[in-house]
Structures are given as C-alpha cells and as structure tokens.
Amino acid sequence: MANTIVSNLWLQKRRPYWSRLEALLAAVNSAGIKQLSRAEMREMALLYRQVASDLSVLRRDATAQTYATHVNQLLARAHHIIYAGRKTSALHLFRYLRDEYPEIFRRNLAYVGLSVGITLACCALGAILTSTHIDFMRHFLGPQMIATMERHEMWTQSVVSVAPTATSAIMTNNLSVSFVTFAGGITFGLLTLFSLYNNGMMLGVIGAACHHYGMSVALWSFVAPHGSLELPAIMLAGAAGLRLAHGMVFPGALRWKDAVAQSGMEASRLVSGTIPMLVVAGCLEGFFSPSSAPVWLKFTVGGMLFAFLNAWLFGAGKKPADSTPAS
C-alpha cells in the first residue's frame, strides 16, 4: 500500500516544488523578506499550500518519513515568513482586496452559486407562502412591524433621528449574522443552511407582506442602496460556511484535520471580503436608505453599487498568466 501512496514517480514530480520553496526561503534568509518581489511572495504562498498537501500524503507512508521530516521543516520556515514576515497596512489591505480577493471569490464560485441558489429559493418560498396565506407572515414578523404595515408606514422611519447610533448597531448586527452564517460551517453546514434559509425566508415574507399592503416601492427603495452590498455579503458568508462544511464532510485524500484546516483557511479568506462590504452597507442603512432622498436616487445608488461589486469580483484581480499553476 505504501508504494501506491508514495511512488518514485510521485516523488520525482513533487521534488521540484520543494526545491523551489527551499530556494525562496534561502533567498529570504540571505537578503531578507524585501528581497522577494510580490510575484515571488504569491508564489511562496501557493507553494506553501501545495507542499502542505504533499506532507499529508507523505505522512501516510511509513517508509517516507525522511521526506516528511524535510517537508515539515520547509513548511515551518515558510509559515513564519508568510504569516509573520509582512506588516499589515492599509496599502497591503487595499492590494489584497484589489488583487487577491477577486481570485478567491472566483475560485469558490461553486459555493457562492449554491449559497445564492438556496437564499433565492427560500426567498421565493417565503413570498409564495405569504401571498397565498397572508397570516403566514406572523411566523416571521413581530406584531409591531405588522402594525406599522397595516398603517402603511415604514418601520424604518425612526432610524433617521438616531442615525449614528443606529449605524453602529446595524453594522454589529450584520457582522454578527455574517459570522454566524460562516461559522455555522463547523456544524457540518447545518447552521449555515439554517441561516441562509432564515434570511431568504425573511426577505421573501417581508417583500410579499409589503406588496399586500401596497408598500413595495417604499420597501425596495429602502433596501436597494444598502442591500446591494449587504445581501451579497451574507450570501458570501454562506458560501464560506459551505466551503468549510465541504472540507469536513468530504476530506478526500487528506487526513480529516488537514482537510478541515485547508477548507477553514480558504473559507476565512472568502468571508474576509465581506467586512468592508458590510461597513459600507451599515453606513448607507443608517444614513441614506431611510432618508427622504428621491426614490430614483436610491435605486440608482443601489444599481451602481451592485454593478461596481460585480466588476470588482468578476473583473479585478491578477490575470491567470501572473500566477504559478499548481501541478
């Protein structure tokens, strides 16, 4: 069985990657971290993930422990450089969001699509159930919110008078919802699925209820500015939770704990991009969305933000030619 796990052909194929990582580490040791270009730093990070996967394979073969020890030492040296070698700065954060995050998003597009699909399906279900049985909304909406709709008033009017305080509370709430949706992946995805279900159903129920009371324009003009960022952010958090759950349920050739660590790291990267989205959305929801600004302006702002979001996620990032392909 050992030969089928680690063959001479496999070792011959993987050794160049170990040697390349060792060469980059030697360059850092001799001339410092600034010796490496941005492309070489990205290459080191990619090699680190590849070699980590190699280590999990080597550890399964008792006859390959010499190689496992060597690779483990390389990883320890690389970990110190990758995670402690660069100082965090506003410029570094900007470059991460501009260059790296869109690639992380596209790499996990299948999980994003699943999260969006679940949310939209639950939204449609909530809208249908509320439209056919109007009392269904009472399972999701409180009596005070229903009372304001019966008076044809938006429950958001009070936000404007306490905008600074409300904005802080809104940001905290949205970040909490996103974190729970993401962290729910550790429950093998069950809590993530419930969170996506709850958010989708709530949106569908409120939409159908406002339509029933003739308040659709008031609702969607309120939702459009901040919702263009807030709703995608929550769906991205759901995608991160699903990514984490996938590594737990389907570890593949990796050991379970290695698969969880790998999927957790990728999921954390995916959810990290939602933080600036939720900060901007919270400011809009506190100051602009409930304001008396013209309806057309609110829809315009929402449309422009959503267009910008798509341009960033699908059009930004470094080109494939700049990255080192995995073997």
Q: pLDDT at position 327, please?
A: 36
Q: pLDDT at position 323, please?
A: 38
Compute the chain's Rg from CA coordinates: 24
CB 301 within 8 A of CB 288: yes
Written as six digits, the tokens of 251 are: 């570890």
Q: Give, as one character, the DSSP assignment of residue 326.
A: P
239-271 burial, b if ≥16 CB within 10 A, otherwise e?
A: bbbbbbbbbbeebeebeeebbbebbbebbebbb
60-76 burial, b if ≥16 CB within 10 A, otherwise e?
A: ebeebeebbeebbebbe
CB 214 within 8 A of CB 270: no
Share of the chain above pLDDT 70, in %: 88
Q: pLDDT at position 157, please?
A: 62
Q: List pLDDT tens digits, range 76-114.
A: 888 777 765 455 567 778 888 888 899 999 999 999 999
Q: List pLDDT tens digits, range 192-222.
A: 999 999 999 999 999 999 999 999 999 999 9
Q: List pLDDT tens digits, range 260-282.
A: 888 998 999 999 999 999 999 98
Confidence band for 320, pLDDT divided at 50, 70 and 90: very low
Q: List pLDDT tens digits, range 13-64.
A: 888 988 988 888 888 887 777 777 878 888 888 888 888 888 888 877 778 7
Considering only residues 15 and 162, tell me which one the structure prediction assigns the higher pLDDT: 15
Confidence band for 3, pLDDT divided at 50, 70 and 90: very low
For range 150-163, the mean pLDDT? 65
CA 102 to chain centre: 11
Q: pLDDT at position 295, please?
A: 95
